[in-house]
Amino acid sequence: MSEKNYIVFNIDEKILRTGGCPGFLMEAQAHGEDEYVIEGKADDAVDKIEIEEFDVFGNPSKVKIKKKTEVELDAEKPVELPESKRRAVITKEKYQNLLDRLKKLDEQYEDLLKRIAELEKQ
């Protein structure tokens, strides 16, 4: 049994998974109706699938592995968040202070509910 490299992709020409498996398990790598598998090697970071032809059932029948263009590579880069949108760094002391304040607010809320209940009884 020889190992075969596979590429799993979808109809949107997106590479979903790559890997290797025994040849008789190639078709099993596509999970569900929306996934297709071809033999080959690809790196989803720099490669893409291009569907050239479909069979009579609408399944890809002729597929090419191509390199992504610079524009495509740039579009996939993560967006750099401005400093104001980044996660805050907080000390344990400040975190505990926030927890204490939340607990106090919760107690005040409970007191208000009790007062409202008493007023409604009158």
Query: Tokens 């890997």 map to which residue?
Result: 19
* Same domain (yes/no): 54, 89: no
Query: Does one domain contain both 70 and 87?
Result: no
Tokens of 72: 């495509």
Q: What are phi and psi of 120, to 5 degrees?
A: -70, -25
7 with 52, same domain: the answer is yes
Domain shared by 70 and 90, yes or no: no
∠ at Cα 17 (32, 5), nearest 5°? 105
Domain shared by 9 and 44, yes or no: yes
What's the pTM? 0.61
Statement to judge: residues 62 and 20 lie in one domain: yes
Q: Are residues 88 and 55 in the same domain?
A: no
Range of the domain at 67: 3-75
Query: In whole numbers, what is the pLDDT of the chain averaged over residues?
Result: 90
Last residue of a domain, one of 44, 59, 75: 75
- Between CA 59 and CA 65 the distance in angstroms is 17
**pLDDT above 70 coverage of the chain, percent:** 99
Give phi and psi for 28, each to the nearest 5.
-70, -10
Same-domain pairing of 66 and 91: no
- Number of folded domains in the chain? 2
pLDDT tens for 61-116 read 999 999 999 999 988 888 887 877 777 778 888 889 999 999 999 999 998 999 89
Reading the block at residue 95, the tokens are 């975190």
Which residues face 19 on adjacent strands?
6
